Amino acid sequence: MNRSSGVLMPLSSLPSPHGIGTMGKAAYDFVDFLKAAGQRYWQLLPLVPAGAGDSPYSSFSTFAGNPYYIDLDRLVKDKLLRPKDLVGINWGRNPEQVDYEALRLQRPAVLRRAFERGRDPLAAEVEAFRQENSWVDNYGLYMALKTHFKMLPWMDWPEEDIRMHRPDAVRRWTILLHEEIEYHIFVQYLFFRQWNALREYAHKKGVEFIGDIPIYVALDSADVWSEAYFFQLDEKNVPKAVAGVPPDPFTADGQLWGNPLYNWDAMERDGYGWWIRRIEGAEKLYDVIRIDHFRGFASYWSVPYGELTAKNGVWMPGPGMKLVGVLTSWFHELDFIAEDLGYVTEDVRKLVWDSCMPGMKILEFAFDAHGDSDYLPHCIPYNATCYLGTHDNNTVMGWLKDIGKRDRDFAARYMHITEDEGWCWGMIRTGMATCADLFVVQMQDLLELDEKARMNTPGTPSGNWRWRMLPGKADKELAKKLYLYTRTYRRV
């Protein structure tokens, strides 16, 4: 990467009149804001449908787009909806919080109206989209089956043949649920049509997208249901072991994520084709791909299925450069970022080095007055991405309330924090000045927001992924201020 910078802003956090950020006017305005501010990158959270806990890191599909992000006003302009279709709908009362329950209740009915109006006029375009995206038929069937079985996870579907994805059952249910399958495919067509238009606009403005690939996929997903061979499941498709991270000073029980683990031997025999298809899908969305929990490629924490905590897991070897080398050679023109945070061991450091991918450095982790940290700004190398914090961290103003006085005093002294500049902009200046090729700042920190704007608290099952920016906050004055910092440190 060339020396540059960007802003981490979830699409869901954009303002809109329909309860959640979308690919509508506010997204185009945000591209304009980034352009005016001298930013090259817009970093997003995964754009996939959110699953358990409304998390974009636990999705029904690694390929599909989130229907909530389809802009309804654009559907009105496209004559797929009428203005009266959007009248009187309660999308939630708090414009600074996504109300996911309201979305679950209201969105499907609105999108089905668009489907009824558009299915015939757009049939040829939808069929072309279907031919270009081999995953979408399987996803459409999976979502149709989930709807039929009252949204139960596939592991709890009452009919064994389709639960086990047996070919005869797949053919039979495809016929039975044809109408519902067509609806889900149509929705995906709408998502990608709007996304492609937004991405084309951003590229014309010189703005590119950084997107996240969670290392694991959800057990309740079309991916695991249809390709169980590639996961550590038994003959009944029940997981043998699941993913997590071990106990640490902050979490005595560790974190039990519950994702099924990969059958790396089966993936290697297949030439890692599953991962190649996955990155090909992500390449249709993003210009740079951040691989979440990259350390799991070196070694991963395996917890026996059925455990209530992650304490009784064991470290197991991952595929290492056998997989990473395939991805970097197959996608040699695509930039990657390795999320190498957490419990970093020598095998992880070696894999990041061998991959040549930039790792991540978090300034909120840097300032320990009792010892030295690799995240201190003077330690950050060129081949790195520097953040104040990510979506899993507190905002800077919230972080200040959590750290001790000695650490705070050390950080203030190191970064020359002044009352006039403030902590957020003092840390932005510090991050901009590092040698790291890429610097990324959360939108919440540009706005100097406190812990109420935190996006996610790892290990908590609910209440996350809700923050939204109020209209008018990403204004010309903020863009001008950010541009000045960006230009000063030669990142324009």
**What are the catalytic residues?**
292, 339, 392
| First-last CA distance in the chain | 13
Q: Residue 155 corresponds to which tokens in the numbers above? A: 């592991």
Bin 412: left if φ > 0, else alpha if -120 < ψ < 50, else beta. alpha
List phi, psi (to 5°) of 301: -90, 115
What own/partner pairs with CB < 8 Å and gap ≥ 24 does 349-355 have? 350/298, 351/294, 351/295, 351/297, 351/298, 351/320, 351/321, 351/324, 352/294, 354/321, 354/324, 355/321, 355/324, 355/325, 355/328
Q: Residue 487 corresponds to which tokens in the numbers above? A: 């230009």
CA distances from 243 to 215, 247, 309, 323 (A): 10, 13, 11, 19
- Cβ proximity of 137 and 130 under 8 Å: yes
Work out whether the CA dihedral 100, 106, 108, 111 comes out positive or negative: negative
- Cβ proximity of 358 and 387 under 8 Å: no
Q: Quick check: helix, strand or coil at residue 121? A: coil
Only one residue has tokens 């290697």, namely 268
Only one residue has tokens 């209209």, namely 471
Only one residue has tokens 């309330």, namely 401
CA distances from 201 to 29, 31, 76, 489 (A): 11, 8, 20, 27
What is the DSSP track for 29-79? HHHHHHHHTT--EEE----SPP-GGG-TTS-S-SSPPPGGGS-HHHHHHTT
